[in-house]
Chains A and B, each alone.
Chain A
């Protein structure tokens, strides 16, 4: 885990999280603003890196939004904000689409759960029938995501991440917008170091990485919202 990752995550969260405010007036006025290059590497001198455990602990436990307040410069912010806007548009469409559908709620009858999921899937796909590749993942967003992920795919962590992506990887996932995620296919584990470098998604959206490609999935409905090819170099 790199210090730069903390800065990137903090900035991403500030710009994408629903809880984070876009009002930057509450940033700590006296906090130095680290410059972040487009490759995600901090360009200002940084203190000696803490141990791996401390870094991980900080990443796992520090309120990221608070850290974001310390970051006054984020060249990716506009692109991430654009991503958030596109995700929000899907969520709005989704909310309208599932009105009237049986709720996906806890029951001992799996047939009812399956029926609710199928209905939700059908209604979302019908409402999103005109969706096309690139509605969410624009070329600019893909380029930014590549830059964010690239440092994490190097070294030991990168080796581990690539191994996880290959682990039980599904082979029959269609790279098609508004398609069903194949039933019974394994859910690829998203390497944690990659996930923390991507924007936080609202439930029930999730990122999944299939081979070198990133897909955005509506997990409740098992619908592929969009995909980004060759996100991993």
Chain B
């Protein structure tokens, strides 16, 4: 007989109440972790999209700011264009090092992402591009010729090396690394291929020589803010968005979501602590006489308190482990659906990012159950053996 066995037998000896605490902690930690993963995943993918975007300033048609942000993040077409000659004018703006246009063309019914959503079709300029091909890894020269296409990591291409886009057969020349952003679902074609598609009449809404956005890289010695001001002064009909200001609506949405979820989780945890405390009060009340017997047989007050708190911690730890494992698994399996339903890109965290979250979740679950059990346990611990044994 030892303390570990006594604790285990006590847990199994009251299966209903132990299971109630286990399930409660499991649900709570699972929900908390899943929520944290979704919010953090969305936040990380926005940061990643920003860091890998490579552009210091994005120039868009006046009035199309929100739609272009959406296009950058989720790949949705904007339906708003500006003349391509803007590119040449932007190159002349002092402080601009590189410019590269993009054209958000359409959503493809015949090419879909792994979530089943139509894949956006985006034209880019391979000669000036500095935002798409960095995601290609070693094959940076791919996708530069008419008849070629580059696809995001989640675009379904089960039919083989060829891709049929708007009825045209394209050679799938490369696949981007996962980004967690709209790029993952996108089909990229060079401008030359977009022109060929337009000539077939399959892109009726896109004007000739139009671009949706121009990505600008600022030269050393200039700041994005200065360049943005100069663009506003020198080029009419466009809006320059500095990179740090991109995705502001998504960030605000994320911040609001995080605050709301944090408040909801805090309230839920508080309620759960009260509930676990009540269940543990029932456990202690049911075992009151048993505790008195243990004291009579020679158990110290510290032993009784310790064994009850270890019991609480063990249930909390087990419930936390199960909840964290379930939360992680469900989030992993449903990551595509989560991204679609929340309307934000979602990048599942790496093991290194996940480990501290799991450790914190376990610690929180165990601590919360110990705190909840503490009050009834301390109350029974103060009684002398005779008082504890009395009904």
Question: Do A and B assemble together?
Answer: no
Chain A interface residues toward B at CB < 8 A: none
Chain B interface residues toward A at CB < 8 A: none
